[in-house]
Structure 1
Amino acid sequence: MKAVQTIAGITQTVEEAAAIPMATLNKRIQDEMVALVILAAEVQIALGPTLAEAKTLSPAVQRSLQAIDRLHQTLDDLQRVMGHLASANGDQAVKIEPLSDVIRLRHLAHKLFDNIDAPFALSEDDSGEIAWF
Structure 2
Amino acid sequence: MESSQTKSGITHRDLELDALAARIGDELETLARLSSDVQKALSMCHFAEHTDPAAIRGLQGIDRITQALEDLGRLMAAVSGEMPKDVKLHAVPILSRLRLHELVNNLDPDAQPVLMSRDYDGEVQWF
- TM-score for both structures, normalised by structure 2: 0.75
Tell me the equivalent position of 1:23.
18
Tell me the equivalent position of 2:115.
119
The answer on 1:46 being equivalent to 2:41 is yes
Structure 1, unaligned runs of 5 or more:
1-9, 122-129
Equivalent residue in structure 2 for 1:59, among 48, 53, 62 = 53
The whole-number CA distance in structure 1 between the counterparts of 2:39 and 2:112 is 28
Identity value in percent: 29
How many angstroms does 1:106 deviate by?
1.3
Tell me the equivalent position of 2:2.
11
Tell me the equivalent position of 1:99.
94
Tell me the equivalent position of 2:30.
35
Decide which moves more: 16-25 or 33-42. Answer: 16-25
The whole-number CA distance in structure 1 between the counterparts of 2:86 and 2:57 is 43
The alignment covers a number of residue pairs equal to: 114
Q: 3-state SS of the aligned residue for 1:17?
A: strand
How many angstroms does 1:115 deviate by?
2.8
Sort the Cα spacing of 1:95 and 1:131 in 2 relative to 1 into closer, same or farther, 3 A: farther
How many angstroms does 1:25 deviate by?
0.8
Task: Indicate the structure with greater helix content.
Answer: 1
How many angstroms does 1:131 deviate by?
7.5
Structure 2, unaligned runs of 5 or more:
118-124
